[in-house]
Amino acid sequence: MKIADKNTKAVDLVREALEKAKKYEEYHCFISMNESHALERAREIDEKIANGEKVGRLAGVPYALKDNYLSREGVTTAAARMLDNFPSPITATAVAKLEAEGAIMIGRTNLDAYAHGSSTENSYFGPTLNSHDTSRVAGGSSGGSAVAVALGIVPFALGSDTGGSIRQPASYNGVIGIKPTYGTVSRYGVVAMASSTDVMGCFANTIEDADLVMRIMAGKDPKDSTTLDDFWTRDLEDAKPKKKKIGIVKDFLGNGVDEEVKKTFLDYAKQAEKAGFEVEEIEMPIAKYGLAIYYIIQPAEVASNLSRYDGIRYGHRAAEITDLDSIYNKTRDEGFMPENKRRIMIGNFVLSSGFFDAYYLKAQKARTLLIKAYDEAFEKYDALLCAVAPAPAFKLGEKVNDPLQMYMEDVMSVPPSMAGLPAIAVPAGSSKSGLPIGVQLVGPRKSDQVLLNIAKSIEESK
Task: List, in sequence order, every beta strand (DSSP E) within 162-314.
Answer: 176-179, 199-204, 245-249, 278-282
Q: What is the pLDDT of residue 126?
A: 98
Structural domain contains residue 222: yes
Strands laid side by side in the 104-109 sheet: 30-33, 104-109, 62-66, 156-161, 199-204, 176-179, 423-430, 436-442, 383-387, 245-249, 278-282
Q: What is the pLDDT of residue 237?
A: 84
Structural domain contains residue 114: yes
Note the Cα 288 to chain centre separation in Å: 22
Measured CA to CA, the distance from residue 220 to residue 222 in angstroms comes to 7
Nearest to 287 by CA among 313, 254, 334: 254
Structural domain contains residue 156: yes
Tens-level pLDDT at each residue, the chain (462 residues)? 999 999 999 999 999 999 999 999 999 999 999 999 999 999 999 999 999 999 999 999 999 999 999 999 999 999 999 999 999 999 999 999 999 999 999 999 999 999 999 999 999 999 999 999 999 999 999 999 999 999 999 999 999 999 999 999 999 999 999 999 999 999 999 999 999 999 999 999 999 999 999 999 999 999 999 999 999 988 888 899 999 999 999 999 888 999 999 999 999 999 999 999 999 999 999 999 999 999 999 999 999 999 999 999 889 999 989 999 999 999 999 999 999 999 999 999 999 988 999 999 999 999 999 999 999 999 999 999 999 999 999 999 999 999 999 999 999 999 999 999 999 999 999 999 999 999 999 999 999 999 999 999 999 998
First and final C-alpha spacing in the chain: 22
Q: What is the pLDDT of residue 228?
A: 97
Structural domain contains residue 371: no
Tell me if residue 461 falls in helix, strand or coil: coil
Domains identified in the chain, total number: 1
Enclosing domain of residue 20: 10-237
- Beta 156-161 vs 199-204: how paired, if at all? antiparallel
- Beta 199-204 vs 30-33: how paired, if at all? unpaired
Measured CA to CA, the distance from residue 218 to residue 205 in angstroms comes to 19
Structural domain contains residue 390: no
| CATH code assigned at 162 | 3.90.1300.10
Note the Cα 145 to chain centre separation in Å: 9
Structural domain contains residue 256: no
Measured CA to CA, the distance from residue 309 to residue 81 in angstroms comes to 11
Structural domain contains residue 153: yes
Structural domain contains residue 311: no
Q: What is the pLDDT of residue 274?
A: 97
Residues carrying an active site annotation = 66, 141, 165
Nearest to 436 by CA among 210, 200, 167, 206: 167
Q: What is the pLDDT of residue 254?
A: 83
